[in-house]
A and B are shown apart, each in its own frame.
Chain A
């Protein structure tokens, strides 16, 4: 009863933007398809949803992209001491900072999510806000992006006894996306000349419907196998107020994974090897991009270290779980290169989650 009251109270508190992607996933290189944690059901494998009891999850995550570049660029120092610099020094300092954002990357993102599940059925609402940056040097431009996603999961569990079971989960979802055009020096010039912000800044919006199907097979001795059919969805378009269109398509992918884990005394261990998008592998580079590995080492129920490898890039993370509050931190890499491998960006992220 107390749990139910707590949930109702928390839902009332979260009329604000809801939550989203668990940082533990990033820390483990997103190798969580077989991990027995309902927190990953809405983001990775619908078959992971709680089939016997009740689960509630409310994470809020903040990600800072290009973290090392930003720290090295001495951004704070430049801001604090800008009044003491002469014009030339200030201009070159700003230029040095802008040069870090070559290509198209995120600058900062916020994710929020609210999900609960009970006996194989779950609902989730998540939202995200992103500040994207593109260009580099003088042409650096900013754009904004927000999205809201609603998902539900229906899962069936077949128990074969002796630690063996098969779960199948279906997750239809709808995502509303809105993004602005880029705001650059050219846009500013245009705005100054026309004195009309609308002519310089366009907003595109649209809705994407998708279906994910996930399965999880558990066998004795702690082994499990997962197969997820992701983004069974047609391409979709975002349309601006002037009728301009941006097309997107999420390639259908088949993700597979094998995992092993167990608990011994106060130590718990989880290891997973996976291949993402096996249907899209064409060459060695695709294979590298597809491969991911993740492991978690839990020390007591309060403390967990995670590490992973995804598409060639490493990740590490730390989780502290104090009763119903989880604090996660992660450091990972994401590649934004035109040719894969050319433009990796490191991300420093922190998440606070209420999890039951």
Chain B
């Protein structure tokens, strides 16, 4: 079952790996065009391994921001990982140091794939699904970073990507499928979608994402409290 779960995670994350491939290439591309050496840009991908934090770090480095400010921004963007950890605490049965590789590979995409996949097929082992999904994304992300860097060196600024739409297109299918599959969550999806409008005027899309996760948790918790009291 280990291998089946590991393989399932690796296969199920492939659609996200396409977006990882594009974003990894954009990251390498931007790093190269800003004049950073390949070993530095590549190290960001294999040490940090968190897309949004890497992009913010890179942009602030290009803007010559102070190191403390860069660290603070990266930590704030990554705060959402606390919620993932809390959500997965009871799902992960591995003990001690075995949890560390899972934590290292715990990206947005791996979190989504492992929770949604094991919700559909409860015989799969959660830890191995997460490990397979995370490892596949890690390999794609790191190769794409190097690829994007080398492409920029050869082709300069001839290529452009619609960055925001890459994110939307990557996750849109999963949102529609989630709507179709779980009717009980449709109200929550609608409330969060409408809430994104006022939030979007005040916050950047990354912070709207964090705010929606907190709001979703509060609404769902409040509904459960009301159900228990009724």
Instruction: Say whether A and B bind each other.
Output: no
Binding site for B on A (CB under 8 A): none
